C-alpha cells in the first residue's frame, strides 16, 4: 500500500513540476509578443503621425545618419551626404501618408495678382492720374507728381526723369484729355518697369541645367524661407522635381519651417539638426542629393545675417563654392521686403556685391503702397524683379507681370 501511495505521490509531484515549467515558458512567450507588438504600434503611430511628428522623426533620422557632420569639412561632408542619401531613399520609399497639396499654376496666380493689386488702394497711380487729369497743370502740380512718385518709392532719378518726360509731352500735345494722359502714363510706367525684360527663372529655360540650382539670399525677415517654400510649390505646379536645402542654420526654426513647406508638396528637405552648423555643409549635401535624385531644381535657403559685409561675403561665397563642387549655381535670388522701401535698397546692394544676384523677389507687396520699388530696385541693381510675394498664403507668389502690375496700380 505504502509503495502505491509513494508512486502516486511521485507522479503528482512530477506533473506539478512539468505544469510550472510550461506556465513559466508560455508567460515568457507572451511577454516577448507584447514587446514586439508594442514596437510595431510605435512605428505605426510614427507612420500615421502628424506633420510635426513626422518632422521630428525625420529630424532624428538625420541626426543618426549625420552625426556631427554639420560642422565638418567638405570631404567628411561627402561621407555624411552618402549616409543622408541612403536615409533619404529609405524615406522616399515610405508610403505616402497624407494627400499632398496641388499647388496653383503660374497662370492662375498671375490673374490673382492683377485682381489683388487692382483691389488694393494704392495711391501711386491714382494720385498721379488725378493731378494729370487737370485741364492745365501748374508748376506745383508737377512737383506733386514728383512727390507722389518719390513716396511710392520710384526713386529720385527715375521720378525726375518721368516727370520731365510727362512735362515735355504735355507741352507738345497741348491740352490733354484724361484718357490720353492715362494712356501716356501707362506707357511711361511700363517703360520704366521694363515691358520686354526677360524675367524667366533660369531653371525654367529650355537649356537649363538639371538640377538647376537657386540660392535665396536677403536680410532676415524679408521672407526668404517662406519664398523658398512657395517657389518649391511653383515648380511642383509646373511638374518639376524639387529638393530644398535648409542652409539657414542660424535660425533653428527655419529648417522646420522649410520641412513643413516641403512635406505639403512631397519635396525632400536636406537639413542639419545642429543649430549653427556650417551652412555650406548643408548646401553641399543638398547639391549632392539633388544630383543623386536627378532633381530638376534645388532651392537653397540661407540665413544671410548682415553682421558685416566681410562676414556675409565669406558665408555666401563659401556656400556658392561648396555647392559648385557638385553643381553649378544658376540663380541667386535676392528676397526684398517691399514694405522697407528705399531702406531695403542699401542692404540689397550689399548682397549684390557679396554674391552677385540674378533676380529679385519682392515680397509683401500686398502690404505695401510702394509698388514703385520695382522700378528703383531694377535700376539700382541692374537685375529684373522676377517674382512677387502677395501674401502669406502658400501660393501667394507669382511671376512678375509688368502689364498686370501697371494696370493694377493705375486702376
Ligand atoms: N504679407 C506677406 N507676408 C509675407 C510674404 N512673404 C513672407 N511673408 C511673411 O514674412 C515673415 C518672415 O518670413 P520668413 O520666410 O520667415 O523670413 P526669412 O527671411 O526667412 O527670415 P530669417 O530666417 O530670419 O532670415 C513670415 O511671417 C512670412 O509669412 C508676402 O509676400 N506677403
| DSSP string for residues in 157-207 | HHHHHHHHHHHHHHHHH-S--HHHHHHHHHHHHHHHH-SS-----GGGSTT
Flag whether pLDDT at 11 surpasses 50: yes
CA gap 217, 245 in Å, rounded: 13
Mean pLDDT confidence for 83-109? 60
Q: Which atom of ligand 1 is nearest to the CA of 248?
A: 23
Q: pLDDT at position 36, please?
A: 36
Q: Are strands 297-302 and 212-217 parallel, antiparallel or unpaired?
A: parallel
Q: Beta-carbon neighbour count of residue 199 at 10 Å?
A: 17
Flag whether pLDDT at 98 surpasses 70: no
**Bigger pLDDT: 344 vs 71:** 344
Q: pLDDT at position 168, please?
A: 81
Q: pLDDT at position 138, please?
A: 78
Cis? peptide before 385, omega within 30° of 0: no
Q: What residue owns the CA closest to ligand 1's atom 17?
A: 223
- Give the residue numbers of the binding site: 218-225, 301-305, 363-366
Specify the CATH class of 108-193 in words. Answer: mainly alpha
The answer to whether the Cα torsion of 118, 121, 125, 127 is positive or negative is positive
High-pLDDT (> 70) share of the chain, %: 65
Backbone angles phi, psi at 21, to 5 degrees: -60, -45
Q: Which atom of ligand 1 is nearest to the CA of 250?
A: 23
Q: pLDDT at position 14, please?
A: 60
217 and 333 Cβ atoms separated by less than 8 Å: yes
Weakest mean pLDDT among 115-119, 141-145, 206-210, 216-220: 115-119
Q: Which atom of ligand 1 is nearest to the CA of 303?
A: 25
CA dihedral in degrees (19, 22, 28, 30; nearest 10)?
A: -100
Ligand 1 pocket test, pick from 109, 219, 221 with the greatest ligand atom count within 8 Å of Cβ, gives 221
Half-sphere exposure of 79 (CA within 13 A, CB side): 7
- Confidence grade of residue 258 (pLDDT, cut at 50, 70, 90): very high
**Sequence-ordered list of residues with C-beta below 8 angstroms from that of 141, at least 6 positions apart, any chain:** 131, 134
Report the separation in Å between the CA atom of 363 and the middle of ligand 1, taken as the mean of its atom positions.
8
Flag whether pLDDT at 55 surpasses 50: no
Pocket of ligand 1 (CB under 6 A): 218, 220-226, 248, 251, 254, 303, 363-364, 366-367, 389-392, 396
Q: Which atom of ligand 1 is nearest to the CA of 230?
A: 6
CA gap 209, 121 in Å, rounded: 41
Residue with cell 509688368: 402
Q: Are strands 385-389 and 359-363 parallel, antiparallel or unpaired?
A: parallel
- Confidence grade of residue 119 (pLDDT, cut at 50, 70, 90): low
- Give the residue numbers of the binding site for GTP: 218-225, 301-305, 363-366
Residue with cell 561675403: 313
Backbone angles phi, psi at 269, to 5 degrees: -120, 125
**Sequence-ordered list of residues with C-beta below 8 angstroms from that of 146, at least 6 positions apart, any chain:** 159, 160, 163
DSSP 344: H
Report the separation in Å between the CA atom of 329 and the middle of ligand 1, taken as the mean of its atom positions.
24
Alpha-carbon Rg for the chain, nearest whole angstrom, is 31
Mean pLDDT confidence for 194-221? 92
**Sequence-ordered list of residues with C-beta below 8 angstroms from that of 40, at least 6 positions apart, any chain:** none
CA gap 341, 361 in Å, rounded: 14
Q: Note whether 108-193 and 205-401 share their fold.
A: no
Mean pLDDT confidence for 388-395? 90
Ligand 1 pocket test, pick from 217, 224, 226, 397 with the greatest ligand atom count within 8 Å of Cβ, gives 226
CA gap 12, 80 in Å, rounded: 65
- Mean pLDDT for the chain overall: 74
Report the separation in Å between the CA atom of 103 and the middle of ligand 1, taken as the mean of its atom positions.
19
Q: pLDDT at position 72, please?
A: 28
Q: pLDDT at position 26, please?
A: 47
Q: pLDDT at position 96, please?
A: 45
- Confidence grade of residue 66 (pLDDT, cut at 50, 70, 90): very low
Flag whether pLDDT at 165 surpasses 90: no
Give whole-number Cα distances, 248 to 74, 97, 367, in Å: 18, 27, 25
Report the separation in Å between the CA atom of 57 and the middle of ligand 1, taken as the mean of its atom positions.
26
**Sequence-ordered list of residues with C-beta below 8 angstroms from that of 175, at least 6 positions apart, any chain:** 135, 136
Domain boundaries, the chain: 108-193, 205-401
DSSP 335: E
Q: pLDDT at position 161, please?
A: 87
Give whole-number Cα distances, 266 to 99, 103, 235, in Å: 9, 11, 12
387 and 398 Cβ atoms separated by less than 8 Å: yes
**Bigger pLDDT: 164 vs 287:** 287
Three-point CA angle 331, 192, 386, nearest 5°: 20
Flag whether pLDDT at 99 surpasses 60: yes
Q: Beta-carbon neighbour count of residue 316 at 10 Å?
A: 23
Report the separation in Å between the CA atom of 337 and the middle of ligand 1, taken as the mean of its atom positions.
9
Backbone angles phi, psi at 276, to 5 degrees: 75, 15
Q: In this predicted model, what pLDDT tens digit does every residue of 346-373 receive, in sequence order?
A: 888 888 888 889 999 999 887 666 677 8
Mean pLDDT confidence for 131-146? 78
Q: pLDDT at position 81, please?
A: 37
Q: Which atom of ligand 1 is nearest to the CA of 335?
A: 19
Mean pLDDT confidence for 71-76? 29
Report the separation in Å between the CA atom of 181 and the middle of ligand 1, taken as the mean of its atom positions.
38
Weakest mean pLDDT among 18-22, 43-47, 247-251: 43-47
Q: 115-125 as b/e, with b when 16 or more CB fall inside 10 Å?
A: ebbeebebebb
Ligand 1 pocket test, pick from 120, 218, 223 with the greatest ligand atom count within 8 Å of Cβ, gives 223
**Bigger pLDDT: 47 vs 399:** 399
Report the separation in Å between the CA atom of 174 and the middle of ligand 1, taken as the mean of its atom positions.
48
Report the separation in Å between the CA atom of 389 and the middle of ligand 1, taken as the mean of its atom positions.
9
**Bigger pLDDT: 183 vs 93:** 183
Q: In this predicted model, what pLDDT tens digit does every residue of 318-334 receive, in sequence order?
A: 999 999 999 999 999 99
Q: pLDDT at position 6, please?
A: 57
Residue with cell 529609405: 90
| Predicted ipTM of the assembly | 0.94
Residue with cell 563659401: 318
Q: Which atom of ligand 1 is nearest to the CA of 218?
A: 19
Flag whether pLDDT at 91 surpasses 50: no
Flag whether pLDDT at 27 surpasses 50: no
Q: Which atom of ligand 1 is nearest to the CA of 305?
A: 25
Report the separation in Å between the CA atom of 256 and the middle of ligand 1, taken as the mean of its atom positions.
14
Cis? peptide before 211, omega within 30° of 0: yes
DSSP-assigned beta bridge partners for residue 212: 297
Could you confirm whether domain 205-401 is CATH 1.10.357.10? no
**Bigger pLDDT: 293 vs 70:** 293
Most confident of 65-69, 135-139, 231-235: 231-235
Amino acid at each position: 500500500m505504502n509503495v502505491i501511495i509513494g508512486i502516486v505521490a511521485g507522479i503528482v509531484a512530477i506533473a506539478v513540476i512539468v505544469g510550472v515549467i510550461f506556465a513559466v515558458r508560455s508567460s515568457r512567450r507572451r511577454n516577448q509578443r507584447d514587446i514586439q507588438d508594442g514596437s510595431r504600434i510605435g512605428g505605426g503611430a510614427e507612420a500615421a503621425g502628424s506633420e510635426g511628428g513626422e518632422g521630428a522623426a525625420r529630424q532624428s533620422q538625420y541626426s543618426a545618419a549625420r552625426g556631427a557632420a554639420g560642422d565638418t569639412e567638405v570631404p567628411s561632408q561627402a561621407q555624411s551626404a552618402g549616409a543622408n542619401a541612403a536615409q533619404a531613399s529609405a524615406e522616399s520609399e515610405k508610403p505616402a501618408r497624407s494627400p499632398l497639396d496641388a499647388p496653383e499654376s503660374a497662370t492662375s496666380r498671375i490673374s490673382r495678382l492683377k485682381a489683388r493689386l487692382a483691389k488694393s488702394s494704392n495711391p501711386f497711380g491714382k494720385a498721379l492720374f488725378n493731378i494729370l487729369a487737370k485741364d492745365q497743370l501748374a508748376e506745383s502740380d508737377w512737383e506733386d507728381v514728383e512727390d507722389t512718385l518719390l513716396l511710392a518709392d520710384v526713386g529720385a532719378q527715375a521720378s525726375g526723369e518721368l516727370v520731365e518726360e510727362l512735362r515735355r509731352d504735355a507741352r507738345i500735345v497741348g491740352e490733354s484729355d484724361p484718357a490720353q494722359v492715362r494712356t501716356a502714363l501707362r506707357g511711361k510706367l511700363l517703360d520704366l518697369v521694363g515691358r520686354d525684360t526677360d524675367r524667366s527663372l533660369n531653371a525654367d529655360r529650355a537649356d537649363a541645367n538639371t538640377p538647376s540650382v537657386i540660392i535665396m539670399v536677403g536680410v532676415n525677415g524679408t521672407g526668404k524661407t517662406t519664398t523658398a517654400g512657395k517657389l518649391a510649390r511653383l515648380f511642383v505646379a509646373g511638374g518639376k522635381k524639387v529638393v530644398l536645402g535648409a542652409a539657414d542654420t542660424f535660425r533653428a526654426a527655419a529648417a522646420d519651417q522649410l520641412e513643413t513647406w516641403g512635406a505639403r508638396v512631397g519635396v525632400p528637405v536636406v537639413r542639419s539638426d545642429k543649430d549653427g552648423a556650417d551652412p555650406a555643409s548643408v548646401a553641399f549635401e543638398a547639391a549632392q542629393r539633388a544630383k543623386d535624385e536627378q532633381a530638376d531644381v534645388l532651392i537653397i535657403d540661407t540665413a544671410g545675417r548682415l553682421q558685416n559685409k566681410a562676414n556675409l561675403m565669406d558665408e555666401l561665397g563659401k556656400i556658392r563654392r561648396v555647392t559648385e563642387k557638385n553643381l553649378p549655381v544658376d540663380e541667386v535670388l535676392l528676397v526684398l521686403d517691399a514694405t522697407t522701401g528705399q531702406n531695403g535698397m542699401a542692404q540689397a546692394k550689399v548682397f549684390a556685391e557679396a554674391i552677385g544676384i540674378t533676380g529679385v523677389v519682392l515680397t509683401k507687396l500686398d502690404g505695401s503702397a510702394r509698388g514703385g520699388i520695382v522700378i528703383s530696385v531694377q535700376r539700382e541693381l541692374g537685375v529684373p524683379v522676377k517674382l512677387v510675394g502677395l501674401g502669406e498664403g502658400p501660393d501667394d507668389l507669382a511671376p512678375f507681370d509688368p502689364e498686370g502690375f501697371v494696370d493694377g496700380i493705375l486702376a
